[in-house]
Structure 1
Amino acid sequence: MHDTEALQAKFFWFSPGDMTDVRQFFAPGRVNLIGEHIDYNGGHVFPAALTRGVSLWVRPRADGVVRFFSVDFPETIEARVDELEFRPSDGYANYTKGVIKAVQEEAGTLFCGGDFFYMSNLANGAGLSSSAAVEVVTAAAVRALMAYPLDNARIAVLSQRAENDFVGVNCGIMDQFAVAMGKAGHAIFLDCQTLAYEWVPVTLGDYALVITNTNERRGLADSKYNERRSECEAALRRIQEILPDIQNLTQISIDRWDDVETHLASEPNLLRRARHVVFEEHRTNEAVRVLKAGRLAAFGQLMNDSHVSLRDDYEVTGPALDALAEAAWSFSGCLGSRMTGAGFGGCTVSLVRRAAIPEFEEHVRVAYADKTGLQPSFYVSEIGDGVHEQQKEGLEV
């Protein structure tokens, strides 16, 4: 955790002045409970916003200059609002520049400028959507300073557009939507094709969600993400030869799977990718149904099945995530555990009996270290609200 006084001192070093015009915003990270790697295949996902995330302090300017500083990086990035361009050396600030450009295009007018100061209590590279949180919190701040009427769902769409078109990462809508539209105590059952959604109460009783970080660098995540997306597109084209009416893999019903399997028999890679998507869509719908019915054990089993599919059919887990999941599965007070996010490092999410969390953490720590030589990090996840402006009573972390 960051020291509040030190942060305030750093902010005033970055952006001198009084407090009267400084505004504060917060956007959470997210955890996806189930429905992995199907947002870009037009399916349903089931994410929830966290109470951890990215805080932003912003001071408006009148000169059309935007300046960005993050406590996690040493340099200040500066640009003009009428000259926002992607520069590899600007790192995270490309996400913020892309969002400002997208909001300006939507509004049809230029932003006045501002000093943007970011801090996060999300682990970098953990797969909890810190980049989406940075995008969405920036969009919310620009919306407020421009007094331009954008609802949070539109903020999600513009943030995704910035990541796709400005940064060049071909992500789906799930992360930005969860970060923008989260609701405390609820997960979002989201149709990624239509953006129709339902807030579903997450009532866990004696259980809690425990997020465990592999603390492994996620070096393959971006390249493998794009590779899997291309494989899904190739599988869809092949399947449309026998099912011409489908537009997305998630529209394939379970009872048509035998036909698909036969058709793709000569292309085992495409077969495995399609099988994950088709059955993960089914698991996600089933997970919402059993959670609404209070059947936590059934929900946990679906989490386990999801991880196995991501390991065997989609091949995006890797030894560290598998070691974490297997350690969780072997603990009697855990109902289910699965990777969450893009994979190849990052985090698992587990459904654990609250009273047994200390024992769960020790059990997983020992088993994981034995297999990988790495030390995991844990935190119990409460489900929080999406992006919002914070009331200003002095600068708050």
Structure 2
Amino acid sequence: MNTQELQEAFLKLYGKPAEALYFSPGRVNLIGEHTDYNGGFVFPCALSFGTYLLCRKNDDKVVRFRSLNQKEYVEVALDKLQTPHPKSWINYPMGVFDQFIKRGFSIPFGLDQLIWGDVPNGAGLSSSASLEVVTGYMLNDVFQTHLNRVEIAKIGQKAENEFVGVNCGIMDQFASANGEKDHAIFLDCNTLDFELVPVKLEGVKVLISNTHSPHKLDSGAYNQRVAECKKAVELISKVRPIQYLAELTEADFKEVESALASDPVAHKRARHVVSEVQRTTDAVKSLKAGDIDKFGQLMNASHVSLRDDYEVTGLELDTMAEEAWKIDGVIGSRMTGGGFGGCTVSLVKDEAIDSFIEKVGAAYQAKTGLKPDFYVAEIGNGACRLKLGE
């Protein structure tokens, strides 16, 4: 669907044309998984697909939430914008309204909204963060609240933490808000210092493989990992006070890991985080140095750690990565996103892409019974306002 068709759909639904159009992208994380809420480094990039939001002011003192991706249409009075709707998709954008209100910004008039996204739901490419950020960007523009992109990202994260109930880190919202075309973001999730690193891959493409085994971060498994890491911090802090696992180097971890002897699960979770932070740092150095092969090796090691120590992969993601490793011309492949389903991300030489799609797709379907989809990723810009009529 193009933006002109979206505008026509808005006019048909509301009887009046939209006044503004916004876009915010999904993201793929090249390396640095489950490190964001542990105060570590991540290395995501914004994608060319994402979430579009059309809106128009109304005098009815209600906010109308419509999505062409969802059957549920909800109308919320302005004085009810801080009341969650059980098991509803609108909690993602409503959580953003809630955060604006909590920050002292008023919502003095109603809004008619139409949302459409081409980020595959449940694929681990941050459809939820894209929705949160496009909502925040829209509210910031419509109500002239003068927030910067980092604050919009923080609002999106808070919305998901407090309104939806998923204890996610800042990475997804940050990438969606701050992405830049043909760059990945080397982000310190503790300080929010970041560097835009050019992704120059001569003869190599970023290939996303959708397992079609949807991850459900609100199912509790994600929050459980967050709790397990907090437990590891508590145990380590008895011998060395820390706030986040990512404060520890690998050498530091060897000195204090005996503090985790009473909790083997917490030990494994901590070992993944500490090693993943180091892998992410090394991967960025490798990319800057033009050593793509080293970057790929670190991607593979990341998947193994997520499989064995963090236990967030499962049959589908493991099959997809393992089949990719067999293909000549695959530089590296790993799960991306929260896990428990979703997508893998691979670096694949141009001449191997067709073979990858054919062979990996067939092997994956034979082992899982699921038909995968593949996307050659284009690295795009972060949230923006688009011109109407185009």
Equivalent residues in 2 for 1:265-284 (5 A)?
A: 265-284=261-280
Residue 346 of structure 1: which of 325, 328, 342 is its match?
342
User: What amino acid maps onto 1:319 in structure 2?
Assistant: L
User: What amino acid maps onto 1:286 in structure 2?
Assistant: D
Matches of 1:163 and 1:69, distance apart in 2: 19
The offset of 1:44, in angstroms, is 0.8
Post-superposition CA distance 1:217-257 (Å, at most 9, x none)? 3247641111111110001111111212x221111111123
Post-superposition CA distance 1:38-86 (Å, at most 9, x none)? 1111111111000010111111223331101001112321112222134
After superposition, the Cα gap between the structure-2 partners of 1:378 and 1:330, relative to the gap in structure 1 and judged at 3 Å, is same
Aligned to 1:308: 304
CA contact (8 A) 1:340 1:349 kept: yes
Residue 388 of structure 1: which of 380, 384, 388 is its match?
384
Aligned to 1:97: 94
Residue 228 of structure 2: which of 218, 228, 231 is its match?
231
Aligned to 1:57: 54
Aligned to 1:376: 372
Structure 1, unpaired ranges of 5+: none
Matches of 1:111 and 1:368, distance apart in 2: 52
Matches of 2:300 and 2:157, distance apart in 1: 29
CA contact (8 A) 2:51 2:118 kept: yes
Post-superposition CA distance 1:85-140 (Å, at most 9, x none)? 34444611111111112123335322422111011111110011101111110111
TM-score (norm 1): 0.94
Aligned to 2:140: 143
The offset of 1:306, in angstroms, is 0.2
The offset of 1:5, in angstroms, is 6.9
The offset of 1:154, in angstroms, is 0.7
Aligned to 2:15: 16
CA contact (8 A) 1:111 1:142 kept: no
The offset of 1:354, in angstroms, is 1.6
Residue 360 of structure 2: which of 341, 344, 364 is its match?
364
After superposition, the Cα gap between the structure-2 partners of 1:3 and 1:181, relative to the gap in structure 1 and judged at 3 Å, is closer
Matches of 2:356 and 2:22, distance apart in 1: 34
CA contact (8 A) 2:154 2:170 kept: yes
Aligned to 1:158: 155
Work out whether 1:260 is the aligned partner of 2:259: no
Q: Secondary structure at the match of 1:60?
A: strand
The offset of 1:271, in angstroms, is 1.0
CA contact (8 A) 2:317 2:344 kept: yes
Work out whether 1:115 is the aligned partner of 2:105: no
Q: Secondary structure at the match of 1:75?
A: coil
Work out whether 1:195 is the aligned partner of 2:192: yes
User: What amino acid maps onto 1:290 in structure 2?
Assistant: S
Residue 290 of structure 1: which of 274, 286, 289 is its match?
286
TM-score (norm 2): 0.96
Aligned to 1:241: 238
The offset of 1:143, in angstroms, is 1.2
Matches of 2:251 and 2:14, distance apart in 1: 60
Matches of 2:223 and 2:157, distance apart in 1: 15
The offset of 1:12, in angstroms, is 2.0
Matches of 2:80 and 2:370, distance apart in 1: 44
Moved more, 219-228 or 48-57: 219-228
Superposition RMSD on alpha carbons, in Å? Answer: 1.6
User: What amino acid maps onto 1:302 in structure 2?
Assistant: L
Matches of 1:217 and 1:138, distance apart in 2: 24
The offset of 1:16, in angstroms, is 1.1
Matches of 1:38 and 1:222, distance apart in 2: 20
After superposition, the Cα gap between the structure-2 partners of 1:165 and 1:276, relative to the gap in structure 1 and judged at 3 Å, is same
Q: Secondary structure at the match of 1:314?
A: coil
Matches of 2:219 and 2:39, distance apart in 1: 20
Aligned to 1:322: 318
User: What amino acid maps onto 1:350 in structure 2?
Assistant: S
User: What amino acid maps onto 1:32 in structure 2?
Assistant: N
Post-superposition CA distance 1:165-200 (Å, at most 9, x none)? 222221111111110000111111111111111111
Post-superposition CA distance 1:321-350 (Å, at most 9, x none)? 000000110111100000001111100000
CA contact (8 A) 2:217 2:338 kept: no
The offset of 1:10, in angstroms, is 3.1
Aligned to 2:74: 77
What's the % identity of the aligned pairs? 49
The offset of 1:264, in angstroms, is 2.1
After superposition, the Cα gap between the structure-2 partners of 1:257 and 1:18, relative to the gap in structure 1 and judged at 3 Å, is closer
CA contact (8 A) 2:207 2:376 kept: yes
Q: Secondary structure at the match of 2:147?
A: coil
Work out whether 1:173 is the aligned partner of 2:170: yes
Structure 2, unpaired ranges of 5+: none
Report runs of 4+ in structure 1 exceeding 6 Å deviation.
none
